[in-house]
Amino acid sequence: MSWNLLTGPFGLKPTSLYITYFGGDKNLSLEPDVETREIWREIGVQDSHIIPFGIRDNFWEMASTGPCGTSTEIHYDLFPDRSNAGDRVNKGFPDLIELWNIVFIEFHRMDTDQLIKLPIRHVDTGMGFERLVAVLQGKLSNYDTDLFQPIISAITKKTGVPLYGGRFTEASSSIGAELDWGYRILADHTRMFTVALTDGMFPDQNHRLRRVLRKAMLVSKDIFGCDCELLTELTYHVAESLSDIFPEVGNRLKQIHCIIAHEEELYRFLRHDALSKWLKIVERRPQLESLDIVDIPGLVAGFQQLEKILPPLTNDNASGTSLGNNSIRHLSHIPVHHLNDDSTVFQINNIMKLENMVQQVIKNSAPVKIYNLTSTQLLQTQNVTLVPGEVYPEDNIKLVEVFSNILTSREPCCGTHVCNTSDLVKFSVVNLHSIGAGTRSLQAVTGSAADQAMNKGVVANKRLEELSLIVRKHLAEDIENKEKANDINKHISNFELDLKNRENLLPYIVRVRCLEDLTCLKKQLKEGIRGSLRDSLKTEMFEVMDSFSKNNEEFIVHFLSCSSHMATVPLQKATNICSNVPVLLIAISEGLVKARCCVPKHNVSEHFNAKSWMHTILSIFQASGGPPRGQNPHITYNMKGKKIPDSEIKELIEKSLKSATDFAVKHFKQ
């Protein structure tokens, strides 16, 4: 079949195909596979194209022990006009490649290296898809085919780096070769992890997938100067290239992008913050030194958890957990233990759906059934929620089942459970937090605990409503009262601390929404006060300008009294109000004194300018100053903020105002 397919529909020349078979091994007492050789002869393959090889090339093993057997392979010469290239087979030449492998699984290797004949034997066959495409398209490299070229072109377009050159020399030997190496790694790895994620694999469950993804992240950052947005962009091109035969890729791109973003954030954290924490743990526990914080995420959080005593589960919470797990699974269509990889699952609306779903199952009074199964029976049972990495016993596995018209929950669990879902009475999600790298914990309560949490939620909503009313009233009636504003901010901060305390059990939805609303209240308060202070600044400066006009004054020296209520003082805006007048303004905010001096160009002279004027007060405050970047110091000059003790502020400001006024009186119009 393999020969007919290659030489028939695929149109490969028989003279370019070379066959290898097992030539025997004396150490294992294995005879040459003459039967296979004769079959190839009967098919019509020339003897010069049928070549025997030993155990290294034509004996396949899945591991150091387990099923294994002899193999026969089909190799292809990429130069079809070459007469005989048999001496190049299995020598590592890139122009003569293995295309098809047929393995005869007939032995089982024991840990003593002994080979035992299997009672039932089969044939395992496989072909390199990418290699076949390269052959059919007449390319010498897989990366020159239409499987990879769209991805490689997308990398060039996205990053603006030089075009792919197809160089295969050592990466360290030239910059161009390193760039081409990066192209290939990124194209290959992106295609691989995109398909793997589409198939339902998750990095936190498969360390090999995580390594591939992180390698792509490193290459993207180090060689192409891009973060995960490049990987995200490339997944679109993978989806497009596979859309005809694998449309699922395009359908799951949103989830794939969430996982990429999550893994990129996790990897960045591991390379910086977590590493230092882990080194401190290793100092206390040297036996952990061999563990790799990068390859095994969650070590820090996991170790910290092991040092704590976890509270025991009760029967109602065990049943509630099973229902919650399967409700989430129903909502997300992926295993609950990997919900951390799908950020949309834990949005507020989905938490609401989860609670409503579980509450409906409780209301329906569904019976809770328990079965004792063997491990074989468990694996044959459909729709069972299993814990990845958990080792279940061979016998007496307790499977807890809840069946209703809303959902079916099946989960092996050794905890105690209620007899009917109605015994749970109520269900409430109270917490959602990270318990380690890539893992989130959803905490829920049932029964009286859920009732208490809901009552606390009512109290929290009432407290929020009262605070909202206080803020609105303050903004409308008493906005200039700084002490009142500080008091309100203090109440908001205390409420936030209560909400962020995980031991304070209240509905998670209430917790999140209250925190969001408190953030809005703080923003409203801050913007309202800021707007009021801006108005105060304008009012004060207009009064100064009015006095300036009425008294026919020639310059302004003024201390901004409203500045003491401001977190930051916009002196530039203040001087813009009197832009045609020589002005020196002093302001103070939270003990920090600043000043700004502006002299119109037509008033500047050798003796009177912004720099010389400002220097009269710099010595008083023992401060430094300078012009804004790129501006003329004779026209604009600023005093840098100087921290002054409260006991000295009043005296120094009065002294500086007098000194600046005396200078202007003496030197203006000289």
pLDDT, tens only, 80-133: 788 888 899 999 888 899 999 999 999 998 877 789 999 999 999 988 899 999
pLDDT band at 328 (very low <50, low <70, confident <90, very high): very low
Confidence (pLDDT) at 288: 74
Tens-place pLDDT, residues 511-547: 989 998 988 888 877 766 666 656 677 878 888 888 8
- Residue that is written with structure tokens 């060689």 in the block: 223
Using DSSP's 3-state secondary structure scheme, residue 323 falls into: helix
In sequence order, what E strands does 54-162 have?
A: 59-61, 66-77, 96-109, 115-127
Report the predicted TM-score, pTM, of the whole model to 2 decimal places.
0.47
CA distance 544 to 558: 8
Distances (CA, A) of 171 to 152, 177, 180, 183: 18, 5, 8, 12
Q: Which of 96, 79, 78, 98 is nearest to 87 (CA)?
A: 96
Q: Please, which pLDDT band fits residue 389 given cuts at 50, 70 and 90?
A: low
Residue type, 303: F
CATH number of 553-667: 3.10.310
Looking at 551-645, list the stretches that DSSP marks H as alpha helix, in order from N- to C-terminal side: 571-576, 610-621
DSSP 208-265: HHHHHHHHHHHHHHHTT---HHHHHHHHHHHHHHHTTT-THHHHTHHHHHHHHHHHHH
If one compares 4 and 304, the residue with the highest pLDDT of the two is 4
Residue 231 exposed, middle or buried by CB count within 10 Å (0-12, 13-18, 19+): buried
CA 214, 219, 220, 225 torsion-angle sign: positive
- On the question of pLDDT at 23 being above 90, the answer is yes
Model confidence at 292: pLDDT above 70? no
**What is the reported pLDDT for 313?**
39
Cα(305)–Cα(314) distance, rounded to whole angstroms? 20
List the domain boundaries for the chain.
2-136, 142-271, 274-306, 315-424, 553-667
pLDDT of residue 391: 72
Q: Are 529 and 452 in contact (CB under 8 A)?
A: no
Q: 39-77 pLDDT, tens per residue?
A: 999 999 999 999 999 999 999 998 888 999 999 999 999
Cross-strand partners of 305:
none
**With 50 as the cut, is the pLDDT of residue 445 above it?**
yes
Q: HSE of 168 in the Cβ direction (CA atoms, 13 Å)?
A: 6
Instruction: Say how many C-beta atoms besides its own lie within 10 A of residue 417's C-beta.
Output: 21
CATH classification code of 2-136: 3.30.930.10
What b-and-e string marks burial along 84-107, b requiring 16 or more CB atoms within 10 Å of the CB?
A: ebbebbbeeeeebbbbbbbbbbbb
Question: Which band of pLDDT confidence, cut at 50, 70 and 90, is reported for residue 622?
Answer: very high
Pairing of strands 427-436, 50-53: unpaired
Cα 604 to Cα 367, 558, 578, 625, 668, distances in angstroms = 92, 20, 16, 19, 9
DSSP 8-state code for residue 341: G
User: How many CA atoms does the CB half-sphere of 17 hold within 13 Å?
Assistant: 26
Q: Which is more confident, 480 or 361?
A: 361
Q: Could you tell me which of 546, 663, 532, 542 has the C-alpha nearest to residue 607?
A: 663
The residues with which 69 forms a beta bridge, in sequence order, are 60
β-sheet bridge partners, residue 418: none
Say if CB 606 and CB 573 are below 8 A apart: no
CA dihedral (220, 224, 228, 231) positive or negative:
negative
Q: Are 670 and 608 in contact (CB under 8 A)?
A: yes
